[in-house]
Chain A
Amino acid sequence: MTSSIVMSGVVKRFGRRTALDGLDLEVATGEVHGFLGPNGAGKSTSIRVLLGQIRADAGRTELLGGDPWRDAVALHRRLAYVPGEVALWPSLTGGEAIDLLGRLRGGVDPVRRRELTELFELDPTVRMRAYSKGNRQKVALVAALAADTELLLLDEPTSGLDPLMEAVFTECIRQVAAQGRTVLLSSHILAEVEALCDRVTIVRGGRQVRSGTLDELRGRTRTSVRLQVADDDAATALVGELDATDGVHDVDRDGARVRFQVDGDRLPDLLESLGRHRVHALTAHPPTLEDLFLREYGGVR
């Protein structure tokens, strides 16, 4: 397995503020990699380092086998970028901006451009200053996806898009992934990350806190269980038993309804013991990315 992006121990300071504090990030070639973290965690700073727009103070960064600062132009031929805040020339129309960005990289495939414009339902005759946020985002997406590059760096690319367009975006990225291209997707829309990403890296305070496949990350976390038993007495008995069980947390009871969480690896044993109670209804769901996220970010739950 080769890597398209390797950052190890990257440090970047802005004056007294440390934006990246020994950040590690590895993106394998051909994967869609989710890049998660609260605001100010260093996601955009990492992407700016990868784009050679700022130079890291320490650490090693390798992008597509090159040095992102020294080989910026050569590397940028092989990647496309979508920022979270699109500020293209206000007096140009969306269509003109797409063409201009394309011409700066040596030309744009008119067929692909038209396909994408139609797919995202973008009106290319409107001036950039008159677009809504979501429509400005579409312009950057069309420009980036129309360029046939081996790597896509996406920094919250769907902010402001409606759910319909988000689905279009998800479909586009699936196609990109199917072609074996690599994607680094920084996003706060966890459903999107869950649907698209093979692996995710969670950062906080300029450092990596977790990295792995979603299944790996889930294994570390608890399953939420909700169930309903026959009556209050049955519930009281169950709660008493749960409280005494290892690996069960946050037991909460409301009449005959009981909610709790259980460590992933204790779930089979627990289900066996639940069989002895008269359970009327039960839902159990694995931790969503949101649960993971809240746990890693907030340090609570």
Chain B
Amino acid sequence: MTGAWQLARAGLRAERVRLAVWALAVWLITAGSVSSESQVFGTAAARAARAELIRSPAATALAGPGYGLDDYTLGAMVANELLGWVALPVALMSAFLAVRQLRGAEESGSMELVRAAPVGRAAPVPAALTVVLIADVVIGAGLVVVLIAGGLPLPGALAFGAGAAGVGLVFGALGAGAAQLTARARTASASAAALVGVGYLLRAVGDVRAPESGSVLSWLSPFGWAQAARAWVGERWWPLLLLPAAALCCAGIAGRVAARRDLGSALVPDRPGRSTASPRLRGLFAVTVRRQGGSVLAWTLGAAALCALVGVLARQVLDFVAEQPDLARILSAGGSGPATDPVFARYLVLATCLAAAAGVSGTAALHGEELIGRAGHVLAGPVARVRWLLPQLAVPVLGSALVLVTGGLSMGLAAAGTLDDPGQIPHLTAAALVNLPVVWLLTGLTALLVGAAPRWLAVGWAYLGYVALTGLLAGLLPDGADALSVLRLMPSLPGDPMAWTPVLVCGAAAVALVGGGVWGLRRRDLVA
């Protein structure tokens, strides 16, 4: 353990900017959501109506276990609907942080230097998790402040903040474990993110099957433990103790593995590969498929799982709406389609955002190719810059389409099964496809930045974040918050009537953006 503290301090220093951005984003989202919830649902009657809506399985899947629905105070509402969504980014941040500090440092070789100094073999894991712990505690404390400032009582705020921080800690420790499994930081990050996804899914399915943490599935997920603390609904503190206990267990295992294995090795070792390339590895498209195929698959599976869940719950949504004529009127306002359509439309926005995230991250990775010097090496061959960009860009473009179509298809398949209506398959797949130009517009914007102005690459992510946030929290945010979102211009299918003009305009804009990226790349100096 020698040197662990110095290592942690160095890690904290290296990560401070990134962590500050995460923390600020989490606090802002929380503050914004609390203030809009308190405005939109200012009266007990409004909150009671909201509680009825939230009781529906589809909403439960995306909210929480539903403590306090009978007396839906602002606190109960924030705990039920917000805690999961706040803990999610904290979990991802913590897991990625741990992987970066451990496997990232090992892959880049900096860990070799560190371990050559008087630093114990067992030091890196506790050091990395100390950084995670500090980051999570700071975020949790900030959440408490934000919630109290939002007019909520202290005990619940403490339970909320501790819950979010504790979930982060567990996934940070799981990230440290994932970092022991593979020799590649990317693979380790992806596995850790998958674990976060599984954790969220377990609590979603569990909460749908039995409210108020009645299902064992909810108790298999750290998210479930945080929510079981019943913030603002008569706090119950002991489930929160499960979080540090689980984190300590995972950290212990990861630490033991790390201290025993050779530096640079992994539990899943590299095998020797081919000595010559297969005929299929013909060019940059093929190599990009190989490099990005795994993450496209992960995004696709994530979208498919989430959408299938919504489809499975379609029957409950229908039953629920049938019992609530008032709600049916609200949901189908402006449309004459079945009551499920607006619900499906809401969740197709989620699938759209997932697909766009897949497209944006795959496209942004092309700038990494340039930074590391690979683009320079390839472009020293007889390869025009267009021929460098377009085949590689084709992978995120097609990959994002795959994510979206798979999302729509799996929602359709699941809905067809539960509603006994095969028509849902083409119905929902087509509805998902309508958002394809949006996905490509966001991908195209990133392609423009990669080609023409790589220094501003963060703008692509920021706009995606904005579109996702305003799209997913529609109704919670103040009116006009989505004024600049491209989603606002699109017909909300299924439910709305189809409108071709925005779809075609959006598609044309996406093509133009990619063209701008090619134009810019041909004109500028390579970065490295």
Footprint of B on A, CB under 8 Å? 48, 51, 53-55, 72-74, 76-77, 79-81, 83, 85-93, 95-96, 99-101, 103-106, 124-127, 129-130, 140, 153
Contacts and interface: CB of A to CB of B under 8 A. Distances in A.
Given A73-B383, A73-B384, A87 B374 contact: yes
B281 A130 contact: no
B46 to A, nearest CB: 54
27 contacts: A48-B376, A51-B376, A53-B379, A53-B525, A53-B526, A54-B526, A73-B384, A74-B382, A81-B381, A83-B380, A87-B372, A91-B291, A92-B290, A93-B275, A95-B276, A96-B276, A96-B277, A96-B281, A100-B281, A101-B381, A104-B284, A124-B275, A124-B276, A125-B273, A125-B274, A129-B107, A140-B377
Nearest to B375: A53
B380 A81 contact: yes
B187 to A, nearest CB: 10
Nearest to A12: B525
Contacts of B479: none
Interface string B122-158: 0000000000000000000000000000000000000
Contacts of B274: 93, 95-96, 125
B184 to A, nearest CB: 7
Nearest to A78: B382
Interface string B269-286: 010111111000111100
Contacts of B287: 89, 92, 100
A89 B291 contact: yes
A129 B186 CA distance: 13
Contact of A104 (B183, B276, B283, B290): B283
Given A93-B273, A126-B272, A87 B377 contact: yes
B295 to A, nearest CB: 12
A106 B382 contact: yes
Contacts of A125: 272-275
B385 to A, nearest CB: 8
B273 A127 contact: yes
Given A51-B376, A89-B287, 20 more contacts: A51-B380, A54-B526, A72-B379, A73-B384, A81-B381, A83-B373, A89-B374, A93-B274, A95-B277, A96-B281, A99-B281, A101-B377, A101-B381, A103-B277, A104-B382, A106-B382, A124-B276, A126-B273, A127-B270, A130-B183
Contacts of B281: 92, 96, 99-100, 103
Nearest to A130: B270
Q: Which interface residue of B287, B290, B378, B380 has the most chain A CB atoms within 10 A?
A: B380
- Interface size range on B against A: 20 to 34
Contacts of B183: 129-130
B276 A51 contact: no
A95 B272 CA distance: 11
A54 B521 CA distance: 11
A231 to B, nearest CB: 52
Contact of B184 (A106, A124, A129): A129
Contact of A48 (B277, B372, B382, B526): B526
Contacts of A53: 376, 379-380, 525-526
Nearest to B379: A53
Nearest to A54: B525
Please list the 6 inter-chain residue pairs (A to B) with the smallest Cβ-Cβ separation, ordered nearest first: A99-B277, A81-B380, A54-B525, A93-B273, A125-B272, A96-B277
Contacts of A95: 273-277
A99 B273 CA distance: 14
A79 B383 CA distance: 12
Contacts of B270: 127, 130
A100 B279 CA distance: 10
A21 B276 CA distance: 44
Contacts of B276: 95-96, 99, 124
Nearest to B526: A53
Contacts of A48: 376, 526
A81 B525 contact: no
B275 A51 contact: no
Interface string B358-398: 00000000000000111011111111100000000000000
Q: Is the interface of B mostly helix, strand, loop or mixed?
A: loop
B290 A91 contact: yes
B382 A105 contact: yes
Contacts of B381: 76, 81, 101, 104-105
B121 to A, nearest CB: 22
Interface in B373-430: 373-374, 376-384
Contacts of A86: 377
A77 B382 contact: yes
A107 to B, nearest CB: 11
B383 A104 contact: yes
Contacts of A85: 373
B286 to A, nearest CB: 8
Interface in B228-286: 270, 272-277, 281-284
Contacts of B379: 51, 53, 72, 76
B524 to A, nearest CB: 9
Contacts of A129: 107, 183-184
A194 B298 CA distance: 54
A103 B282 contact: yes
Nearest to A77: B382
Contacts of A99: 276-277, 281
B277 A83 contact: no
A62 to B, nearest CB: 18
Nearest to A147: B381
B55 to A, nearest CB: 48
Of B183, B376, B382, B383, the most chain A CB neighbours within 10 A belong to B382
B394 to A, nearest CB: 16
Contacts of B282: 103
Interface in B278-322: 281-284, 287, 290-291
Contacts of A88: 374, 377
A272 B270 CA distance: 69
Contacts of A153: 380
Given A73-B382, A125-B273, A103 B283 contact: yes
A109 to B, nearest CB: 13
Given A104-B283, A105-B382, A81 B273 contact: no
Nearest to B372: A87
A76 B265 CA distance: 39
A81 B380 CA distance: 6
Contact of A101 (B273, B376, B378): B378
Given A83-B376, A125-B272, A125-B275, A72 B384 contact: yes
Interface string B177-205: 00000011000000000000000000000
Interface in B37-92: none
A136 to B, nearest CB: 11
A218 B388 CA distance: 46
B322 to A, nearest CB: 53
A53 B270 CA distance: 34
